[in-house]
Chain A
């Protein structure tokens, strides 16, 4: 249901300027990334800044896996996040060739999440941290 809401809300933006690839590091370095990325908190009822993940942007065409781009409070890219529903993984769905916001990956966190608006079934968060200080920049 929420995937459809997001896609409907952003239908118009999908046809705007040429999208920045999730591998286009320079274009994604600072928030806000260009369309088709959109601020997650503008699409669903979530806080602007999520502790641990930052300010999230996503191209709705890539839901549910993402990549979600996590920016710190200064608008600097700090993480690329993927959200993969457990049910989909169990049924054999794979999520391949996903883009990354930055090729500088200092650490990777993987953990279970019970769900939230936008990805409302239990899923895994795979968090690629960009820089030694990324975790601290996303903490609060």
Chain B
């Protein structure tokens, strides 16, 4: 896994991430936007779920002018959270991204990756990335244990079947 941050501000305490420049000619990353209403009543990832091929690069971009967000994997190595990414994958934490800042990650291990926004998990700001398809070598499906996740977060994950069928999911009322 390769991660990269742009214009982010380090708030401290983040998991160290490997930094790398994108190779010339490499495919453009797929954007996952961090969004929110003007007064912060609602916050969300757009799309909230996406299916990608192994090796895809994703870029989290904060488009919310009045808030900061993170994209943080559920993993014991990061705030001792339940593991909700494939066993062979490295966890990542974007740390807080101010408006306009972005963070890139390349995912190679097939399976289901669940992540959340640290200050907005209780508001249900979570996302799911499906890398590859069931049956791919090393594939690991979604976590079966709810762990310590708040109900609002657990309710936010679309099913793998739905994600694979649609490719990407944006809630209708937020599209």
Contacts and interface: CB of A to CB of B under 8 A. Distances in A.
Interface in A50-66: 50-53
Interface in B11-57: 11, 36, 38-43
A2 interface: yes
A120 B9 CA distance: 18
B120 A44 contact: no
Nearest to B95: A45
Interface string A28-59: 00000000000000001111001111000000
A48 B99 CA distance: 11
B58 interface: no
Interface size class of A (residues with CB under 8 A): 20 to 34
Interface string A105-123: 0000001111111001110
Interface in A2-49: 2, 44-47
A121 B122 contact: yes
A47 B66 contact: yes
Given A47-B65, A47-B68, A116-B68, A125 B119 contact: no
Contacts of B120: 114-116, 120
B-side interface mostly: loop
Contacts of B118: 117, 120
Given A52-B38, A114-B125, A115-B119, 5 more contacts: A46-B67, A46-B68, A113-B39, A117-B11, A122-B122
18 contacts: A45-B9, A47-B99, A52-B38, A52-B39, A52-B66, A111-B39, A113-B39, A113-B40, A114-B36, A114-B43, A115-B40, A116-B67, A116-B119, A116-B120, A117-B68, A117-B96, A117-B118, A122-B122
Interface of B: 9, 11, 36, 38-43, 65-68, 95-99, 118-120, 122-123, 125
